[in-house]
Amino acid sequence: MFLQDHWSALTFLSGYLFGLLVLFLLRRYLPTKFYLETFFSIVKLFFVFIHELFTSSIAVTQQIIRPKINVSPGIFTLETELEGELEVSLLALLLNLTPGSVVVEVSSNSKRFYIHGMDLPASRDSVFRSKEKFEHAIKKVTR
């Protein structure tokens, strides 16, 4: 591209795709994972979060709209198999951003979360389902 008198988006795109193809073909000889796999894993994690955000927002909205609020808040524990500060912090943040649950504390070994749920039986079940989805997506991104 820089060896030509003029350049265009088409020549840039064709060069990028050619380089991408070369990296894809040489991926078994490179020590790191192919970077597009990580990119697609990040996009998938984002969509998993958006889905969980909408479903939990609907559940919280249903609780709020009721004429008489009938909730039983409480704190429960959640075990995780994630390792490392990045993975644990990301899971804690994603669980905090979903309505109806707040991570109160993380244990010293980073394997147990103490979570406050708005409506304990329903919140616990939804947080456990969310945890499984988030853990799987986080592992795809970081490992």
Q: According to the model, what pLDDT value does residue 48 have?
A: 95
Rg of the chain over CA atoms, in angstroms? Answer: 21
Q: According to the model, what pLDDT value does residue 59 have?
A: 84
How far, in Å, CA of 89 to CA of 52, rounded? 18
Dihedrals φ, ψ of 96, to 5°?
Answer: -70, -35
DSSP 108: T
From 58-62, 86-90, 114-118, the region with the lowest mean pLDDT: 58-62
For residue 41, what are the contacts with CB-CB under 8 A and spacing of at least 6?
137, 140, 141
Q: In what order do the strands lie in the sheet with 101-106?
A: 74-79, 112-117, 101-106
Residue 118, judged by CB atoms within 10 A of its CB (0-12, 13-18, 19+), counts as: buried
pLDDT > 70? residue 109 = yes
Mean pLDDT score, 62-75: 88
pLDDT > 70? residue 41 = yes
Percent of the chain having pLDDT more than 90?
Answer: 61
- Of 77, 96, 107, 102, residue with least CA distance to 134: 96
Residue ranges per structural domain of the chain: 9-142
